[in-house]
Amino acid sequence: MQRVGVFVCWCGSNIAATVDVEKVAEVLAKEPGVVFSTNYQYMCSQAGQEMIQESIAKYNLTGVVICSCSPRMHENTFRKTCEKAGLNPYMVEIANIREQCSWIHKDKETATEKAVILGRAAIAKVHLNAPLTSGTSPVKKRALVIGGGIAGIQTALDIADAGFDVDIVEKEPTIGGKMTQIDKTFPTLDCAACILTPKMVDAAQNEKIHIYSYSEVSSVKGFVGNFKVTIKKKARYVDETKCTGCGLCTEKCPQKKVPNAFNLGLDNRRAIYIPFAQAVPKVATIDADYCTMLKSGKCGVCSKVCTAGAIDYTQKDAFIEQEYGAIVVATGFNPIKLDQYDEFAYSQSPDVVTSLEFERLMNAAGPTGGTLLRPSDGQHPHTIVFVQCVGSRCDDSKGKPYCSKICCMYTAKHAMLCREKYPDTDVYVFYIDVRTPGKNFDEFYRRAVEEYGVHYVKGMVGKVVPENGKLKVQASDLIGNQQLHIDADMVVLAAAIEPDKSARPLATMLTASMDTNDFFTEAHPKLRPVESPTAGIFLSGACQGPKDIPETVAQASAAAAKVIGLLNKDHLVCNPCTAQPDELMCNGCSSCEKVCPYGAITYVDKEFRGPNRTTLLRRVAQVNPAVCQGCGACTVACPSGAMDLKGFSNKQIMAEVDAICR
């Protein structure tokens, strides 16, 4: 039995107005083991805390019960208070008599009665508390960034700047992400490549940054400060250390009919390729699906022309193991597939394009060299119709329920650029709403309308029908209250954006949570926006929700700041409320191991004393306290009841039940 001190807080009038605090302290004083009981106006104040500390010394208290606000509020405060007075911090229990009592009840008598019962439960529990000590675990001073878009690059640069090693794992042959495909960027209209490629080069040249391109994360083990990650370096059949990026092979390869993924299939490339001129790393990659040499063993042209001898047809996937203290997810987004949107004739006419394809058609490094030409006949389009919200803000299963956020702005950008380059074109934009919050964003949109004469029409396009080389667009004009029929040369669809498909399996590997749309969820939507609820996993960029570049970069730097804060520590304090098996009861059945979401449980063979001076070798469970997060799943799964959770033990919870039902 402990020597318990009870401290009832008034919380000004928050508690005292509905709970008779004096009476609570009085009644609880009669509980078994209570040697001191008092009440005070503000227990969490300096004076209140000092009173607790003095009482601990004076009455030689071994357990403390504080009847106050929610433990989510001040449990830590009071633990620290008691620790300073020489009491183990885990000998403190809080009875929540504010949020769960005084604030929800009006009648003083009932509230007081309930406060007493809650206090009793806490006293019953504290009698069974045991001193716990938090262990520490070392922090591996290296960070992993998954995804090498602008988000990943910015995060890596910032972490490296603080002096820590960072690895970027990028699944494509080059880093850069979606921004490499964009032509000009709103709201300033500076060229994307001009601002992005210097950063890519910075990342490549930074001594602290290592880029694993054409690679994926294949397994993640461990926990905050100590992640063990296996990176799969996919075979690119080119020796990265030898390839100089001269590009000769990409010109000589006889396999010319490979759809160019970088240009979204608007033109073709060879089977060996460098995605674009400023790729980082600038190393060729062989597309195994198309390479004749790899498929039939006949060809070998690239190997013959390569003066550096970099081609290696026998290359295999390589697996690299590395340890990290923190992991940043920066897997970005993709526009949704539009196959299901038959009404816009996307699959029927090459002149119906997505906005990202349109970026390539406008880009000086794109398939048309920056001249806007129709994909079907290479003619200059005179009438262009932009359709916004294709698949965004949709109730049906085809689309996404959310607003993709960036489409209003990039469509205004596209419309403006068309009118600027080709003043003879007629440009229509169909919209549901124009949403342009952001610094200089609305001004930008208004410029498109007022200065550039873009026709903004509120309404949705109902149907696009390809006919005689034209696209017949039927649409409604909600403000003019009329049906419009436009003969367009091109239609551009602002497709909704969604998280990368690889994000879901990655989230499972990382035990990071996702929302129903597969965007990563943050630890707190307002106060912890760049951390995932799983300790040591951070979020950067569009993988967490639709974002434009300024927002992406801001979040990327914020994530880096959090990572730096973590890596700066030498040790992390672990939660001591972890599972603990009773080895005498454990029979090594593996039930607990199966339900543990963290892989914290392993088995060892241990010697036990058997009857008649024999020794028995028995398999028993062991919990790694640094890995265990203390959920308690194993305690219930254990058929022999050998597993218990420190701080929330079976006996403690049962004592609370008893006290409440008494």
Ligand X SMILES: Cc1cc2nc3c(=O)[nH]c(=O)nc-3n(C[C@H](O)[C@H](O)[C@H](O)COP(=O)(O)OP(=O)(O)OC[C@H]3O[C@@H](n4cnc5c(N)ncnc54)[C@H](O)[C@@H]3O)c2cc1C
Q: Strand, helix or coil at 523? A: coil
Q: Which of 74, 114, 234, 547 binds another protein (CB under 8 A)?
A: 114
Contacts of 40 (CB under 8 A, 6+ apart): 7, 8, 9, 10, 47, 48, 51
Token code pair at residue 151: 């988000």
Q: Would you give the end-to-end CA distance of the chain in angstroms? A: 19
* Least distance in angstroms from the C-beta of 82 to ligand X: 45
Q: Which of 103, 313, 422, 452 binds another protein (CB under 8 A)?
A: 103
Residue by residue, DSSP assigns 328-380 as: EE---EEEPP-TT-GGGTTTT-TTEEEHHHHHHHH-TTSTTTT----TTT-PP
Q: Is 60 exposed, middle or buried (0-12, 13-18, 19+ CB in 10 A)?
A: exposed
Residue by residue, DSSP assigns 475-503 as: EEETTTTEEEEEEESEEEEEE-EEE-TTH
Tell me the site size for another protein, rule CB under 8 A: 47
Chain positions 29 to 88 lying near another protein, rule: CB under 8 A, are 70-72
Decide which of ligand X, another protein, none touches 513; Cβ closer than 5 to 8 Å per partner kind. Answer: another protein
* Least distance in angstroms from the C-beta of 314 to ligand X: 25
CB 99 within 8 A of CB 71: no
Closest to another protein by CB, 322 or 521: 521
Separation CA 276–CA 180 (nearest Å) = 9
- For CA atoms 232, 545, 323, 631, the dihedral sign is negative
Closest to ligand X by CB, 247 or 550: 550
Of 289-297, 442-450, 484-492, 628-636, the window that binds another protein (rule: CB under 8 A) is 628-636
Closest to another protein by CB, 288 or 637: 637
Decide which of another protein, ligand X, none touches 277; Cβ closer than 5 to 8 Å per partner kind. Answer: none
Residue 521 is given by DSSP the state: P
* Least distance in angstroms from the C-beta of 15 to ligand X: 47
* Least distance in angstroms from the C-beta of 407 to another protein: 28
Separation CA 297–CA 345 (nearest Å) = 41
426 backbone dihedrals φ, ψ, rounded to 5°: -100, 125
* Least distance in angstroms from the C-beta of 43 to ligand X: 46
Is 124 a binding residue for ligand X by CB under 6 A? The answer is: no
Decide which of ligand X, another protein, none touches 660; Cβ closer than 5 to 8 Å per partner kind. Answer: another protein
Separation CA 69–CA 75 (nearest Å) = 9
Is 327 a binding residue for ligand X by CB under 6 A? The answer is: no
Is 108 a binding residue for another protein by CB under 8 A? The answer is: no
Q: Which of 506, 514, 577, 596 binds ligand X (CB under 6 A)?
A: 506
| Strand partners for 524 | 528
Of 202-210, 306-314, 547-555, 653-661, the window that binds another protein (rule: CB under 8 A) is 653-661
Q: Strand, helix or coil at 136? A: strand
Is 185 a binding residue for ligand X by CB under 6 A? The answer is: yes
Closest to ligand X by CB, 231 or 628: 231
Decide which of another protein, ligand X, none touches 95; Cβ closer than 5 to 8 Å per partner kind. Answer: none
State the residue number with the nearest CB to ligand X.
149
Owner of token pair 């006419």: 349
* Side-chain-facing half-sphere of 654: CA atoms under 13 Å: 6
Is 275 a binding residue for ligand X by CB under 6 A? The answer is: no
Chain positions 560 to 579 lying near another protein, rule: CB under 8 A, are 577
- For CA atoms 45, 47, 51, 53, the dihedral sign is positive
Closest to another protein by CB, 107 or 420: 107
Is 406 a binding residue for ligand X by CB under 6 A? The answer is: yes
Is 101 a binding residue for another protein by CB under 8 A? The answer is: yes
Q: Which of 48, 275, 332, 367 binds ligand X (CB under 6 A)?
A: 332
Q: Which of 23, 105, 210, 569 binds another protein (CB under 8 A)?
A: 105
Chain positions 552 to 611 lying near ligand X, rule: CB under 6 A, are 552
Chain positions 578 to 607 lying near another protein, rule: CB under 8 A, are 595, 597
Decide which of ligand X, another protein, none touches 146; Cβ closer than 5 to 8 Å per partner kind. Answer: ligand X
* Least distance in angstroms from the C-beta of 658 to another protein: 6
Peptide bond just before 281 cis, omega within 30 deg: yes
Decide which of ligand X, another protein, none touches 645; Cβ closer than 5 to 8 Å per partner kind. Answer: another protein
Separation CA 7–CA 4 (nearest Å) = 10
Closest to ligand X by CB, 140 or 547: 547
Q: Which of 41, 77, 88, 100 binds another protein (CB under 8 A)?
A: 100
Chain positions 530 to 549 lying near another protein, rule: CB under 8 A, are 533
Separation CA 16–CA 369 (nearest Å) = 76
Residue by residue, DSSP assigns 389-407 as: EESSS--STTS-SS--SSH
Q: Is 207 exposed, middle or buried (0-12, 13-18, 19+ CB in 10 A)?
A: exposed
Q: Is 526 exposed, middle or buried (0-12, 13-18, 19+ CB in 10 A)?
A: exposed
* Least distance in angstroms from the C-beta of 634 to another protein: 9
Closest to another protein by CB, 570 or 658: 658
Q: Strand, helix or coil at 641? A: coil
CB 223 within 8 A of CB 139: no
* Least distance in angstroms from the C-beta of 648 to another protein: 6
What letter represents residue 101's amino acid? C
Query: Which x/- pattern over 409-428 shows residues binding ligand X (rule: CB under 6 A)?
Result: -x--x---------------
Is 654 a binding residue for another protein by CB under 8 A? The answer is: yes
Query: Which x/- pattern over 138-177 shows residues binding ligand X (rule: CB under 6 A)?
Result: --------xxxxxxx----------------xxxx----x
CB 116 within 8 A of CB 102: no
Bridge-based pairing of strands 209-212 and 190-191 is unpaired
Is 542 a binding residue for ligand X by CB under 6 A? The answer is: yes
310 backbone dihedrals φ, ψ, rounded to 5°: -90, -15
Q: Strand, helix or coil at 157? A: helix
Residue 381 is given by DSSP the state: P
Contacts of 553 (CB under 8 A, 6+ apart): 150, 151, 154
Given the rule CB under 8 A, which residues bind another protein? 70-72, 96, 98-101, 103-107, 110-111, 113-114, 117-118, 121, 511, 513-514, 516, 533, 577, 595, 597, 629-633, 635-637, 645, 648, 650, 653-654, 656-658, 660-662
Given the rule CB under 6 A, which residues bind ligand X? 146-152, 169-172, 177-179, 182, 185-186, 216, 330-333, 335, 355-356, 359, 406, 410, 413, 500, 502, 506, 541-542, 547-550, 552
